[in-house]
């Protein structure tokens, strides 16, 4: 029983095993805020009030499991991705990259309306808090090289090969409900 005047934590967390290693999933107020890989660059700090809730995040785990099984190409979940306006534009544009396809950082910079900002796009891409669901792994170098990935290049290779293997002619898109909140 919660004492009067005490609020329940609104942050939840869980972990799941995946073909690319253990993933830590976080949410706040029912919206996904993070998917992190073990030993990832730029890890998001898990809120101190977060409570483990495997059932509350079961829908996220189920969709990720279906993705890894090659049965899901489009995620459906509410997201709360906090960042700068530019970061949120980049993250929204990432969701326009069809499943199983790649684009260059320069092309992504054109998509966000700043063709000379490929380095800034790369930095925003690297700060994506919701890996896999917001497919930052689909961005590659202009020469087709697999440049950096916050989760490690071996994971990027795995994700791209996985999507190529399970790609359908119809392709897929991920839709986002980005919140206009400061970083």
Catalytic positions, written as ranges: 136
- The answer to whether 12 and 52 have CB atoms below 8 angstroms apart is yes
CA distances from 44 to 56, 102, 134, 158 (A): 20, 25, 15, 22
CA 142 to mean position of chain CA atoms: 22
Helix (H) or strand (E) holding 28: strand 23-28
- 142 vs 131: CA distance, rounded Å: 21
**What are phi and psi for residue 50, nearest 5 degrees?**
-65, 135
Assign residue 60 a region (left: φ > 0; alpha: ψ between -120 and 50; beta: otherwise): alpha
- 59 vs 64: CA distance, rounded Å: 9
Q: Quote the tokens at residue 106.
A: 């320069």
**DSSP structural state of residue 8:** P
């Amino acid at each position: 029983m919660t004492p009067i005047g005490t609020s329940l934590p609104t942050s939840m967390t869980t972990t799941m095993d995946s073909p690319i290693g253990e993933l830590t999933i976080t949410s706040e107020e029912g919206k996904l805020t993070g998917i992190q890989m073990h030993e990832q660059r730029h890890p998001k700090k898990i809120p101190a009030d977060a409570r483990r809730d495997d059932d509350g995040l079961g829908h996220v785990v189920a969709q990720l499991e279906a993705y890894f099984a090659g049965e899901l190409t489009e995620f459906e979940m509410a997201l709360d991705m906090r960042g700068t306006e530019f970061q949120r534009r980049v993250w929204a544009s990432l969701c326009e990259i069809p499943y199983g396809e790649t684009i260059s950082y320069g092309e992504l910079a054109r998509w966000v309306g700043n063709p000379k900002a490929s380095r800034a796009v790369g930095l925003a891409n690297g700060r994506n808090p919701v890996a896999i669901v917001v497919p930052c792994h689909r961005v590659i170098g202009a020469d087709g090289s697999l440049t950096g990935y916050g989760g490690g290049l071996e994971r990027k290779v795995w994700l791209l090969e996985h999507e190529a293997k399970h790609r359908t002619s119809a392709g897929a898109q991920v839709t986002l409900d980005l919140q206009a909140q400061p970083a």
